[in-house]
Structure 1
Amino acid sequence: MPAALCPPRVPLTRPLRNKPPRTLWGAVFALMAGLASSAPAHAAGADCGQLPASVQFEQRTWTEIRDGLACGITTVIIPVGGTEQSGPYIAAGKHNVRVLAQAERIARAVGQTLVAPVMAYVPEGGTKPRTSHMRFAGTLSIPPDVFEKLVLAAAESLRVQGFTLVVLLGDHGGYQTQLQQAADTLNTAWRGTGAKALYVRAYYDVLPHQYADWLKKTGHAGEVGLHAELSDTSLMLAVDPGMVRQKALRAGPPPSAAQGIYGGDPRGASAALGQPGLDMQVQAATKVIEAARAGQP
Structure 2
Amino acid sequence: MCHLPSAVRRLVPAVFATAIMTISGTGVSGAAAQPSSGPPSDTVEFARLTWTEIAAAIRAGDDTILIPVGGTEQSGPYIAVGKHNIRVAALADRIARRLGHTLVAPVIAYVPEGGTSPRTSHMRFPGTISIPPAVFTGLLEGAAESFRVQGFRRVVFIGDHGGYLTSLKAVAEKLDHKWKGTAHALYVAPYYDVIATRYADALRARGLGAALGKHADLSDTALMLAVDPSMVRQDALRSAPLPGPDQGVYGGDPRPATAALGRIGTDMQVEAAVEAIRRAP
TM-score by length of 1: 0.80
Structure of greater Rg:
2
SS of residue in 1 equivalent to 2:208: helix
Partner residue, 2:10:
none
Whether 1:145 and 2:134 are equivalent positions in the alignment is yes
- Say which structure is richer in helix: 1
Whether 1:185 and 2:174 are equivalent positions in the alignment is yes
| 8 Å CA contact 1:56, 1:116 repeated in 2 | yes
- In 2, the alpha carbon distance for the partners of 1:145 and 1:90 equals 28
Moved more, 235-244 or 206-215: 206-215
In structure 2, what residue type is equivalent to 1:69? I
Partner residue, 1:287:
275
SS of residue in 1 equivalent to 2:41: coil
Root-mean-square deviation (CA), in Å? 1.4
In structure 1, what residue type is equivalent to 2:278? E
Q: How far 1:50 moved relative to its partner?
A: 7.3
| 8 Å CA contact 1:225, 1:262 repeated in 2 | no
| 8 Å CA contact 2:194, 2:269 repeated in 1 | yes
1:256–1:166 distance in 2 versus 1, CA, 3 Å: same
1:91 to 80, 85, 97: 80
Higher relative contact order (CA 8 A, sep 6+): 1
SS of residue in 2 equivalent to 1:220: coil
Give unmatched runs, 5+ long, in structure 1: 1-48
Whether 1:202 and 2:171 are equivalent positions in the alignment is no
| 8 Å CA contact 2:196, 2:212 repeated in 1 | no
| 8 Å CA contact 1:225, 1:264 repeated in 2 | no
SS of residue in 1 equivalent to 2:68: strand
Whether 1:65 and 2:54 are equivalent positions in the alignment is yes
Q: How far 1:252 moved relative to its partner?
A: 2.7
1:219 to 196, 200, 207: 207
In structure 2, what residue type is equivalent to 1:107? A
Mapping for residues 1-297 of structure 1, pairs under 5 Å: 52-193=41-182, 195-222=183-210, 224=212, 226-292=214-280, 295=281
| 8 Å CA contact 2:89, 2:107 repeated in 1 | yes
- In 1, the alpha carbon distance for the partners of 2:163 and 2:244 equals 21
Q: How far 1:51 moved relative to its partner?
A: 6.9
In structure 2, what residue type is equivalent to 1:160? V
Q: How far 1:188 moved relative to its partner?
A: 1.7
Partner residue, 2:31:
none
Identity of aligned residues (%): 62
In structure 2, what residue type is equivalent to 1:260? G
SS of residue in 2 equivalent to 1:91: coil
- In 2, the alpha carbon distance for the partners of 1:207 and 1:279 equals 11
In structure 2, what residue type is equivalent to 1:94? K
The number of aligned residues is 244
Moved more, 282-291 or 219-228: 219-228
Q: How far 1:257 moved relative to its partner?
A: 1.7
- In 2, the alpha carbon distance for the partners of 1:262 and 1:162 equals 42
| 8 Å CA contact 1:52, 1:60 repeated in 2 | no
Q: How far 1:226 moved relative to its partner?
A: 1.6
| 8 Å CA contact 2:114, 2:121 repeated in 1 | yes
In structure 2, what residue type is equivalent to 1:257? P
- In 1, the alpha carbon distance for the partners of 2:153 and 2:212 equals 39
In structure 1, what residue type is equivalent to 2:189? R
In structure 2, what residue type is equivalent to 1:158? F
- In 1, the alpha carbon distance for the partners of 2:158 and 2:213 equals 23
Partner residue, 2:27:
none
Provide runs of 4+ in structure 1 moved above 6 Å.
none
| 8 Å CA contact 1:224, 1:263 repeated in 2 | yes
SS of residue in 1 equivalent to 2:155: strand
Q: C-alpha deviations, 1:182-232, integer Å up to 9, x for none?
A: 011101211122x10011001000011111111111100246362101000
SS of residue in 1 equivalent to 2:66: strand
Q: How far 1:57 moved relative to its partner?
A: 0.3
- In 2, the alpha carbon distance for the partners of 1:72 and 1:52 equals 16
| 8 Å CA contact 1:100, 1:118 repeated in 2 | yes
Give unmatched runs, 5+ long, in structure 2: 1-37
